[in-house]
Amino acid sequence: MVKSVELLKLIEQDQKRLYSLLAGFDTTKYTRHVSQGGIIFIPKNTKSYPLICTHIDTINEARGALNPTKEDLIISGDFISLAPSSKSACIGGDDRNGVYIALKLMQINKPFAFGFFTNEEVGCKGSTELSTFIDTLNTTCFIGLDRRGFNEAALYGYDNNELTKIFKNLGYRQAYGTVTDASNLSLLCNKNLACINISVGYEGEHTRAETIYLTAVNRTLEVLSNIDASLFSAGLFKYAVGQNHSDGLYLDYYHDDTGYFYGDETFYNDDMLDFLECEADYINDEPYNPYILNEAIKRGQ
C-alpha cells in the first residue's frame, strides 16, 4: 500500500534536492549512472530489461514557484490537494507519483532499469542528454510512469502491439499522449524501441487544482510489483518504422470501439478534435472543462 508520508516527503523536495537524494540512494542491486540529465539505475546480473521512466522536476520549477510544504497540503481520505493559501503552482504529482512508484519497485529489487530524468517539463532535456548512454544498455522498451488518471496506457506513435497487450490484459485502457521522456527516448535512441506510459494517479496536472489519488498510485505500484519481469526480457519491443509518431502532436484522448474520448469520457466529434488540436496549450495547462470547450466550439473559437 502507498505510504502517504513517504510520498509527501517526495512532494516537498525540489528537483535539486531530489537529485542529490537519488545520487546517494543506497542500493547494492543496481549500478548507478549519474549525469546532468538525471540518474539511471541498471539492474545487476540481468541480461535485458525495460527502462522505467520518471522525471524529477515539476511545473513548480518551470514557473519559478516553490514546492509545497506539508502546511500547503490537504489530505482527505484517498486524495491529496493544495490548500487555497499555497503559493505553489501545482502539487507535483506529475511526476512525484512516478518517482515514488519507481523507488518502491527498487526497494523490492525489481529487475528493471530506472531513469529519473531532469527537466522533462521544459522539453525533456534530461532524457535527451542521456539518450546516447541509454543506447548502450540492454533495454527492451520504455515504460513511462508519467500519465494522469487511474488505468490508462498512453501511446505516442512508437507502439508495439505485444507491449500494449501486456497492459491491456492488466486492465489498462489505450489512450494517446502528447510527449513524455519515454516517447522522447523512442524518438532519439537508435534501436526503434517502443514506449508506453502508465497512469500513476494524478489529475489536473500543471495547475493549482492538481490532485493525487492514492488508490490509483497504489494500483500501478501493485501491478508493477507483481508483474512477471520475464514478459519484458524475452526480446526487444520494437515499433514499426514509418509509424505516425506524435512528436508532441498527439492529443490526450483515448478510444474504444465506439469513438474517441477525453477526460471524463465525454464523446468528441471531429470538430471538437480539431479544436482540441489547435488548443493543445490549453489542454496541458488548464483544468479540463468540457462545457467551456463545447461553448468555445459553438462560438467558432
- In angstroms, rounded to a whole number, what is the distance separating the alpha carbons of residues 113 and 110? 9
- Give the largest Cα separation in the chain, rounded: 60
CB atoms inside a 10 Å sphere around CB 77: 8
Q: Say what the pTM is.
A: 0.82
For residue 164, what pLDDT is reported?
A: 97
Per-residue CA distances from 168 to 34, 85, 161 (Å): 34, 40, 10
Query: Can you give the pLDDT at residue 25?
Result: 84
Q: pLDDT tens per residue, the chain (301 residues)?
A: 556 789 999 999 999 999 999 998 888 999 999 999 999 999 999 999 999 999 999 999 999 999 999 999 999 999 999 999 999 999 999 999 999 999 999 999 999 999 999 999 999 999 999 999 999 999 999 999 999 999 999 999 999 999 999 999 999 999 999 999 999 999 999 999 999 999 999 999 999 999 999 999 999 999 999 999 999 988 999 998 765 555 444 444 434 444 433 333 333 344 433 433 333 333 333 333 333 333 333 343 3
CA distances to 18, 59, 87, 91, 133 from 67, rounded to whole Å, are 12, 9, 9, 7, 30
> Grid coordinates in use for 243?
509509424
What pLDDT was estimated at residue 5?
A: 84
CA dihedral sign, ordered 59, 64, 68, 73: negative
